[in-house]
Structure 1
Amino acid sequence: MNQTQSRSTFISLRKQIYDALEADIVNKLTREQLTDQISTAIDVLIERNEYSVATVVRREYVKNIIDELLGLGPLQPLMDDESITDIMINGHHNVYIERNGLVERSMASFIDEQQLLQIAKRIAARIGRRVDDSSPTCDARLEDGSRVNIVIPPISIDGTAISIRKFKKQSIDLEQLVGFGALSPEMAKILMIASRCRLNILISGGTGSGKTTLLNALSQFISEKERIVTIEDAAELRLLQPHVVRLETRTSGIEGTGAITQRELVINSLRMRPDRIIVGECRGGEAFEMLQAMNTGHDGSMSTLHANTPRDALARVEAMVMMANNNLPLEAIRRTIVSAIDLVVQVSRLHDGSRKIMSISEVVGLEGSNVVMEEIFRFEPSVSNDGEGKVNGEYVSAGLMKRSVLVEKARFFGLEGNLNSVFGFARG
C-alpha cells in the first residue's frame, strides 16, 4: 500500500469511527481504554471493508485517532519533539516548524480545513475561550504552558492559522547560554550581579529572539527571601523561588465583559506587597505603572519589550507611557524613565538561527532633553569564512564608568570584588 492509498484508507476508517462514536465516550474512558476500543474498531472495519493494512500501519491509524481525540491531532508528534521550538500552521496543508533557530516545512498535514478548525476550537475551549465568526482571533495557552495564537477565516484568508510557541520543560540558565555562544562569561557575570543587586532591567529584542529565556535565566539570581509578582498575557516564566505570585491577563467573555488587562494587574500588584515585579512583556499603558513601581521601592523589577536597539526600546517606553498619560510632558516622561531603568539588554536572533545578546547598555542620565546611555558590552560580528553562513564575532567592552549605578549597587551589596574580577574601571 503506497502513501496515497494509506491516507485514503485512514480517512475512510476515521469517518466510519467518528460516525459511530458516542458523543461523551472520550470523557468516560481512560486513554488506555479508549485506545483498546479504537484499536478493536479499526480491526473490525478493516476486515469488513477487506482492506489490506499491515499491523504497524494499523497502530499508526490508532495513534492518529487517539491524538486527535485527546491531543492536537497531526500536531501532537511535533509537540512531543523536544527539538522543535515553534509550530506555524497556514491552512491545513501548510505546516512549518522552527528547529535550532531555522524555519523548515513539516511533513505533517491535516485531512481538511474542518479538522484543523475543530482542533483550533478545542484548544480555545479548554481554557474557557472561543474562536468563531464573531470572535475570529484567540490567544490561548496549552496545558504544558505553550502559547497559542489562532486566527480563522474570514480574517485568515488561506485557512485557519495557528502559531504555537512551545514551552520548554527545563529553564535555560546563564551558564548554558554562555555555552551556546549567546553571551560571554564576563557578560553573564555582569548580568548576574545586576540581578542580585536589584537593578531594574529591560530586555529588548524581536519576536523569538530569546527575551523570555533570558528573563527566566536572570530571575534565578533573585533571593529566595523576596516576594515576586509576575504579570503576563500567557504564563511562560518559570521562577524557582518559593515566594512567587503569578498573575495572568484575561480577555473579555461572550458578553464582551470581564477582561483584565496587564495595566490593571500592575496596579493591583502594588497592593500585594511585592519586593519585585516582573512583567512578561510591556506593550501598552502598563509601562507607566511599571516605571512608577521601579521608582517607588520595587527596584530589581524586570520586563521585556519589542525593539531593535536599546535606544529604540526607551523610545517605545516613552510612546507607551504617552498612551497611558497623553498630557504628561515629554521631559517628565524621560526623567521617569532615566530614574527607573538601569540596564537595557538587547537580544537578537541572527540569520543563521543563533540567538545572541547584542549589547548591554546602562541608562546614565539626561543631558538636556536627551537620554544618555553607556554601552558596557556589545557583540561585533565578523565576516564568516566557514562557508555555512554562520555568524562569527566577538564580545567587546569599553569598561564601566565609576559613576555607574552598577558600581554603586555592587558596593552596597558587597559584590564590588565580583565586579572588579570582570574588569577594572576603564573610565574615570
Structure 2
Amino acid sequence: MKNLFRRENEEVEPYDPEVHGILSEFTGVEGYEEIERYWTSEPYVFIVILYNEDRNDHIYYVVEPSLSDFEQVFLTEIKDRLHNELLVEDIDETEDKEEVLEKEIREIIKDYAIEITPAMLEKVFYYIKRDFIKFGKIDPLMNDSSIEDVSGNGHSKPIFLYHRAYQNIATNIIFEEKELDSFIIQLAQKSGKHISVADPMVDATMPDGSRIQMTLGVSVTTHGSTFTIRKFSEDPITPVDLLKWGTFSPECMAYLWLCIENNKSLIYAGGTASGKTSSLNAVSLFIPEKAKIISLEDTRELKLPHPNWIPGMTRDSFTADDRGSVDMYDLLKAALRQRPEYLLVGEVRGKEALTLFQAMSTGHTTFSTMHADSVPSAIHRLENPPISVPRNMIQALDIMCIQAQTYSMGKRVRRNLKVVEIIDIDPNTRNVRTNDVFAWDSSTDTFNRTGDSKALMDIRMRRGWGAMDVNRELANRQRILEYMVDNDIEDFKQISGIINAYQSTPEKVLKELDLL
C-alpha cells in the first residue's frame, strides 16, 4: 500500500532518446538485404526497404516500438481501462485529442504499483494514440509521403502499396479476420459512413482527405474484408511538379495556361492512376484569381487557392429508397444556376455529361476527367450509353489531353501522350475532326509540337492579337514556368501568386524575375 501511495504522487519524467534509449530496433530478415532506411515518425517509426536478389523481391518493412510480453499485457490493460473511462467522461470537443489521451493515461497508471519507465510510457502513448485517434496499424503508411496507394486484399495477407520508388511492394503488416473486420468498420465510422453485412461496399473520404473504397466480410470479396486507399497529398500538385516529373513540357504547359485563361474547355482522359485528377488540379491554378469556380466531385480531391470557389460533393441517401441522395446530375443542375465562370467536374461517367456539354455549348468553361485511353475511345464513350452526348455537342469541347502510366528508359512514368483539339464535325462523313497539337515521343521522352492550334487562332481573334503577340505570350509563360522549375519554387501559394501576378501585371512580373 505504501508503495502504491508513493507512486501516486510520482511523475514519470519525459522521454528522451539520448537518456532512455531508442524505442524501435530492426535486427534484419533472413534472406533479405537492407537497401534503404528512413523515418516516417521519429523517434517511433522507421521504414526499411529489403531486397532478395534470388527472388527479385522487395519488402516494405515497418519498424515500430518493440514491446516485451509484460508491456504488451500492460498496454492491453490500459486500453481496456481507457475505453471505459472515455465512455463515461464528458470531454470538451475543442481540447487536443492527444493531450486528453496523455492526461487520462497518466491518471490510470497511478493505480498500478509497478515501476513505469519513461520509454515504457512513451510506447504506451504511441500505440494508444495510433489506435484511438490515428489510422491504427496502417498509420505508418499514411505518414509516408512516397506512398500513393495502400491496398488491403483480405485477411491473413500482407498489405500492399504503390511506392513512388519501388512501385507495387508488399509490407510486413497483416490483419487477422476479426481484426480486419473491426478495422474496416472503424475506418468507415471515422470517414462518416456506415458499413454492414447488409450494405457491404462503401466509398468515402478519410479525415485526412484520402479516398477509400471498402468492402466488409466475405459476401462480395471471398478473401474477407478489403480496403483500397488513394492517398491525398496535403500540398496540392502544381504545374511545376508536373514539369519536374516530365508529365508535360514547358511549351505544352504554357499553351494550356494561355488556353485556360481564355476560357477553353478541357477534358483529361486516361486509364486508372494515370494522373488525370492531379493534372486537372494543377492546371486549375491557371484560372484567373477572382473567377467564380464551382467544383463537383464524388470524393473531395481538388484543392484550389481561389477565394471565389464553391466545392460541391455528392451525398449518399439516408434511406433504402434513395431519399436524400444528391448525385452529380443534381449538383450540376444546381451549379448552373449559380452563374459559374469555370465548372470543374471530378469525372464524367453518366447522364450528368449531357448537362456538362450543354453548359459548354452555352459558354461555360468546363474541366473534367474521364476513363479512356485515346481520343477515338473517349468520343465513343461520350456518344454511347450511359453518357449519350449527341455528336454535334462534342464540338463544344476545345481540348482533350490523353494521359497514361507508361514506361520510359526502363522506369514507370506518367506522361501526357497527346494534346488534341476538337475542330468540328465533318459535313460529309459526320466524323469528329481533331488536330494533334503536342505529342510525346517515347523513344526520346520528349514532347513535340505537331501542328497549328485552332484554340490559339480563336484567342488571337478574340483578343485582337497578331501571330507575334500569341508567340510572345507563349514564350513569356514558358520562361516563367522554366524559371520556377530551375529555382525549385515548390510552394503552392508562391506558384499561384506568380501565376496570378502575371495575369494582372505581366511586365512587372517579368522584370522582377529578371526575364525581360
| TM-score, normalised with respect to structure 2 | 0.70
2:363 is the counterpart of 1:363: no
Residues 42 and 62 in structure 1, CA contact (< 8 A), matched pair in contact too: no
2:141 is the counterpart of 1:78: yes
Residue 386 of structure 1: aligned partner: none
Within the candidate set 362, 369, 376, 2:437 is matched to 376
Using the TM superposition, give the Cα deviation of residue 163 of structure 1 relative to its aligned residue in structure 2, in angstroms: 1.0
Residue 390 of structure 2: aligned partner: 333
Q: What is the rounded CA distance, in whole Å, between the counterparts of 1:160 and 1:26 in structure 2?
A: 33
Pick the structure with greater CA Rg.
2
Q: What is the rounded CA distance, in whole Å, between the counterparts of 1:55 and 1:207 in structure 2?
A: 47
Residue 283 of structure 2: aligned partner: 218
2:363 is the counterpart of 1:302: no
Residue 426 of structure 1: aligned partner: none
Residue 397 of structure 1: aligned partner: 449
2:100 is the counterpart of 1:33: yes
Residue 22 of structure 2: aligned partner: none
Q: What is the rounded CA distance, in whole Å, between the counterparts of 1:71 and 1:407 in structure 2?
A: 53
Residue 359 of structure 2: aligned partner: 293
Structure 1 segment 23-422 matched on structure 2, within 5 A? 24=87, 28=91, 30-38=97-105, 47=114, 56=119, 59-92=122-155, 93-100=157-164, 102-110=167-175, 112-154=176-218, 155-257=220-322, 258-298=324-364, 300-319=365-384, 322-323=385-386, 333-338=390-395, 340-351=396-407, 352-367=411-426, 368-382=429-443, 393-401=445-453, 404-413=454-463, 417=468, 419-421=470-472
Q: What is the rounded CA distance, in whole Å, between the counterparts of 1:180 and 1:418 in structure 2?
A: 30
Q: What is the rounded CA distance, in whole Å, between the counterparts of 1:358 and 1:9 in structure 2?
A: 58
Using the TM superposition, give the Cα deviation of residue 297 of structure 1 relative to its aligned residue in structure 2, in angstroms: 1.8
Residues 123 and 140 in structure 1, CA contact (< 8 A), matched pair in contact too: no
Q: What is the rounded CA distance, in whole Å, between the counterparts of 1:297 and 1:46 in structure 2?
A: 75
Q: What is the rounded CA distance, in whole Å, between the counterparts of 2:416 and 2:468 in structure 1?
A: 24
Residues 349 and 387 in structure 2, CA contact (< 8 A), matched pair in contact too: no
Q: What is the rounded CA distance, in whole Å, between the counterparts of 1:113 and 1:307 in structure 2?
A: 37
Deviation digits for residues 184-214 of structure 1, max 9, x if unmatched?
1111111111111111100011121111111
Q: Against the structure 1 CA distance between its residues 419 and 244, is the aligned structure 2 distance closer, same or farther, given a 3 Å change threshold?
A: same
Residues 296 and 346 in structure 2, CA contact (< 8 A), matched pair in contact too: yes
Q: Secondary structure at the match of 2:149?
A: strand
CA RMSD of aligned residues (A): 2.9
Using the TM superposition, give the Cα deviation of residue 33 of structure 1 relative to its aligned residue in structure 2, in angstroms: 3.2
Q: What is the rounded CA distance, in whole Å, between the counterparts of 2:305 and 2:153 in structure 1?
A: 36
Aligned length: 397
> Which stretch of structure 1 is more off in the superposition, 307-316 or 285-294?
307-316
Note the residue ranges of structure 1 that are not aligned, 5 or more in a row.
326-331, 383-391, 424-428
Q: Which has the higher contact order (CA 8 A, sep 6+)?
A: 1
Q: Against the structure 1 CA distance between its residues 245 and 42, is the aligned structure 2 distance closer, same or farther, given a 3 Å change threshold?
A: same
Residue 498 of structure 2: aligned partner: none
Using the TM superposition, give the Cα deviation of residue 301 of structure 1 relative to its aligned residue in structure 2, in angstroms: 1.0
Q: What is the rounded CA distance, in whole Å, between the counterparts of 1:46 and 1:115 in structure 2?
A: 31
Q: Secondary structure at the match of 1:353?
A: strand
Using the TM superposition, give the Cα deviation of residue 249 of structure 1 relative to its aligned residue in structure 2, in angstroms: 0.3
Q: What is the rounded CA distance, in whole Å, between the counterparts of 1:46 and 1:290 in structure 2?
A: 68
Using the TM superposition, give the Cα deviation of residue 82 of structure 1 relative to its aligned residue in structure 2, in angstroms: 1.7
Q: What is the rounded CA distance, in whole Å, between the counterparts of 1:71 and 1:7 in structure 2?
A: 23
Q: What is the rounded CA distance, in whole Å, between the counterparts of 2:387 and 2:240 in structure 1?
A: 38
Residues 362 and 375 in structure 1, CA contact (< 8 A), matched pair in contact too: yes
Q: Secondary structure at the match of 1:124?
A: helix
Q: Secondary structure at the match of 2:237?
A: coil
Q: Against the structure 1 CA distance between its residues 77 and 256, is the aligned structure 2 distance closer, same or farther, given a 3 Å change threshold?
A: farther
Q: Against the structure 1 CA distance between its residues 69 and 88, is the aligned structure 2 distance closer, same or farther, given a 3 Å change threshold?
A: same
Residues 142 and 148 in structure 1, CA contact (< 8 A), matched pair in contact too: yes
Q: Secondary structure at the match of 1:132?
A: coil
Using the TM superposition, give the Cα deviation of residue 87 of structure 1 relative to its aligned residue in structure 2, in angstroms: 1.3
Q: Secondary structure at the match of 1:240?
A: coil
Residues 71 and 120 in structure 2, CA contact (< 8 A), matched pair in contact too: no
Using the TM superposition, give the Cα deviation of residue 14 of structure 1 relative to its aligned residue in structure 2, in angstroms: 4.7
Q: Report the identity percentage.
A: 27
Q: Secondary structure at the match of 2:281?
A: helix
Using the TM superposition, give the Cα deviation of residue 309 of structure 1 relative to its aligned residue in structure 2, in angstroms: 1.1
Residues 285 and 304 in structure 2, CA contact (< 8 A), matched pair in contact too: yes
Opposite residue 448 of structure 2, the aligned amino acid is: V
Q: What is the rounded CA distance, in whole Å, between the counterparts of 1:243 and 1:87 in structure 2?
A: 34
Q: What is the rounded CA distance, in whole Å, between the counterparts of 2:296 and 2:242 in structure 1?
A: 24
Deviation digits for residues 241-282 of structure 1, max 9, x if unmatched?
111111100112243432111011111111111112110111
Q: Secondary structure at the match of 2:442?
A: strand
Q: Secondary structure at the match of 1:323?
A: coil
Q: What is the rounded CA distance, in whole Å, between the counterparts of 1:104 and 1:26 in structure 2?
A: 43
Q: What is the rounded CA distance, in whole Å, between the counterparts of 2:387 and 2:129 in structure 1?
A: 48
Q: Secondary structure at the match of 2:286?
A: coil
Note the residue ranges of structure 2 that are not aligned, 5 or more in a row.
1-24, 28-62, 476-516
Residues 140 and 149 in structure 1, CA contact (< 8 A), matched pair in contact too: yes
Q: Against the structure 1 CA distance between its residues 413 and 318, is the aligned structure 2 distance closer, same or farther, given a 3 Å change threshold?
A: same
Q: What is the rounded CA distance, in whole Å, between the counterparts of 1:63 and 1:318 in structure 2?
A: 54
Residues 270 and 372 in structure 2, CA contact (< 8 A), matched pair in contact too: yes
